[in-house]
Amino acid sequence: MFAVQVSGTGHAGMEATIANCLEPGETIVVATSGIWGQRVCDLSERYGGNTHFLHQSNTHGPVTYQKDMEVTRSFQSQIVY
C-alpha cells in the first residue's frame, strides 16, 4: 500500500488515478449516482478502458456491496471505482 499526494483539484486526483491504474482494454466498473461518477466513466473511456457503470439514482440510496460485487463478477472487472 502507498499513498500519492497530488497537488491539484479533486478532478486532477481522479484523473491521475485513472491514468495510472487503468490500462487500455481493461474493464472498469464505476458505481455512480451523479456527476463525479459520470466523469470517471468519461475519463476511463478516454484512456481506453472497457467501461461499465452501475447507476443508482439518488432516490434509491447508495449502491449496495452485494450489487457492486454481482456486477463486478459478471463483467470480470479488473478495477472497481
DSSP result, the chain: -------S-HHHHHHHHHHHH--TT-EEEEEESSHHHHHHHHHHHHTT-EEEEEE--GGG-SPPHHHHHHHHHHHT-SEE-
**Average pLDDT of span 24-32:** 88
Please give the share of the chain, as a percent, with pLDDT higher than 70: 89
Residue 15: is its pLDDT beyond 70?
Answer: yes
Q: Is residue 17, in this structure, part of any structural domain at all? A: yes
Chain center to CA of 75: 13
What sign for the dihedral angle of Cα 58, 69, 40, 25?
Answer: negative
Q: Which domain holds residue 43?
A: 10-80
pLDDT at 25: 93
Q: Is residue 51, in this structure, part of any structural domain at all? A: yes
The total number of structural domains that make up the chain? 1
pTM metric for this prediction? 0.73
Residue 45: is its pLDDT beyond 80?
Answer: yes
Q: Is residue 26, in this structure, part of any structural domain at all? A: yes
Q: Is residue 5, in this structure, part of any structural domain at all? A: no
Residue located via cell numbers 474493464: 27
Residue 57: is its pLDDT beyond 90?
Answer: no
**Average pLDDT of span 7-13:** 89
